[in-house]
Chains A and B, each alone.
Chain A
Amino acid sequence: MASRSLYSEFTKGIWKENPVIILLLGMCPALAVSNSAVNGLAMGLASTFVVVSASSIVSIIRRLVPAQVRIPTYIVIIAGFVTLADLFLKAYFPAVAKSLGPYVPLIVVNCMIMGRAEFFASKHTLLPAIVDAFGTGIGFTWVLVVVGVVREILGSGSIFNVMLMSEDVFTPWVVMILPAGAFISLGLMIGIINYFKNLKAERAK
């Protein structure tokens, strides 16, 4: 049972229980910093680091923490890792830290991370907790990168900061890099995915 379920704990975060497109968790960073592929990738990786680290620690100390104060304890741990990530980015990747701005400290309140700590890590041993958190982090990252790529192509005419078309050929749709563009692209993406999921379910009947 162990190996099969470990694998499914990992993959469920990527697709079946994807934090953004299925559970609709962590929408704030998913909407706010998915305006370019690089920002989406950086935010995804920073969040993955935090969710994996926080879930590991929560899983290790899960028997020591009284139920009444578990939430504040988890928040302190998450905030600690977020601050580490923030300082690390500022020291070694100042350009990335600058473009993400205040959204790095805001990872603290990403409910996807709290969700993994509360619903999974606090009830499981270390290995499944890490695998589950890692799958969730990857699931979060790929959605942010896909939304970021779509918005960057349509909104800035570039991909990973490389210009695709000159502005004479293609006028960027400014709306795509605005908050409205985030709602439009993420909404359509979730809609399309749900359409095909329903279609598959119909056929299975």
Chain B
Amino acid sequence: MSFKESSAGMITVMTVVAIIVGSILAGFYQMVSPRIEANRLAEEKRAIFSVLPEAKDYVTIDLEVGEGDDKESLMIFRGVDDDNAPVGYAFVSEGPGFAAAIVMMVGLNINTEELTGMKVLEQIETPGLGNKIAMEPFESQFRGLKIKPAITYIKNKKPESDNQIQAITGATISSVAIVKALNKTIKVLMPFILEDIRNPVVIERQVEEEAVPEPKEEEK
């Protein structure tokens, strides 16, 4: 029996192949992961500006929500205009869809209690049906939508009130999943948003951070 046919031979071949493939993948991942991360950030930025059309810049506010085991780290984004005055808040909302979690970016105008936009970031709903939640006709329904008392939906008919959207025909589950997730997230985040309006978390504007030369450089 040759070495190749022995158990040791099999183990050697499998191990060598696995190590080579593994190293190539690790190397390639190192190479492209900054780009993948940059794509993600650029998409986040695009999403925030698309749901907060009046914003010229935004401030990221990190939150700790819940107590004990339910503790979650969340983020809200305060959209500001040229004078650094808040124009609205954007946040990520997530809920179970038909196939898997649906993640979306939502913009909220706190004064009018209206959404300023909704954009689906991640979904793997049924192509051609559920994935219409990520398309303009559906997403645009959320522009100017009242959030009080709660967002509701209707099937096969035009919305009857200003807090109602029309669910997509054949994709009710996906449409309703978004409505439910939005209502839930708004309920959770509202106290924090109101708190931020009363006592704004002061964070340097991101654009300025990059532009102003860091005096700390010398101290290092």
Contacts and interface: CB of A to CB of B under 8 A. Distances in A.
B170 A77 contact: no
B25 A73 contact: no
B39 A94 contact: yes
A91 B13 contact: no
Interface stretch (B3-11, B70-78, B86-94): B3-11
B126 interface: yes
B190 interface: no
Interface in B6-22: 9-10, 13-14, 17-18, 21
A69 B13 contact: yes
Nearest to A174: B170
Question: Which of B14, B17, B36, B39 has the most chain A CB atoms inside 10 A of its CB?
Answer: B17
A76 B32 contact: no
A180 B124 CA distance: 18
B36 A36 contact: no
Q: Is the interface of B mostly helix, strand, loop or mixed?
A: helix
A69 B14 CA distance: 8
Contacts of A83: 25
B150 interface: no
Contact of A102 (B5, B21, B124): B124
A98 B121 CA distance: 10
Contacts of B126: 178
Contacts of B39: 90-91, 94
A155 interface: yes
Interface in A62-103: 64-69, 72-73, 76-77, 79-80, 83-84, 87-88, 90-92, 94, 98-99, 101-102
Interface string B48-80: 000000000000000000000000000000000
Contacts of B24: 80, 84
Contacts of B18: 76
Interface residues of B, number: 26
A190 to B, nearest CB: 22
Question: Which of B39, B122, B170 has the most chain A CB atoms inside 10 A of its CB?
Answer: B39
A80 B25 contact: yes
B36 to A, nearest CB: 5
Given A66-B4, A69-B10, A73-B14, 18 more contacts: A36-B128, A39-B127, A64-B13, A65-B13, A66-B5, A69-B14, A76-B21, A80-B24, A84-B25, A87-B32, A90-B32, A90-B39, A92-B35, A99-B127, A155-B128, A177-B127, A177-B129, A178-B128
Interface of B: 4-5, 9-10, 13-14, 17-18, 21, 24-25, 28-29, 32, 35-36, 39, 43, 122, 124, 126-129, 169-170
| Nearest 5 interchain pairs by C-beta | A177-B128, A80-B21, A91-B32, A91-B35, A101-B124
Interface of A: 33, 35-36, 39, 61, 64-69, 72-73, 76-77, 79-80, 83-84, 87-88, 90-92, 94, 98-99, 101-102, 155-156, 174, 177-178
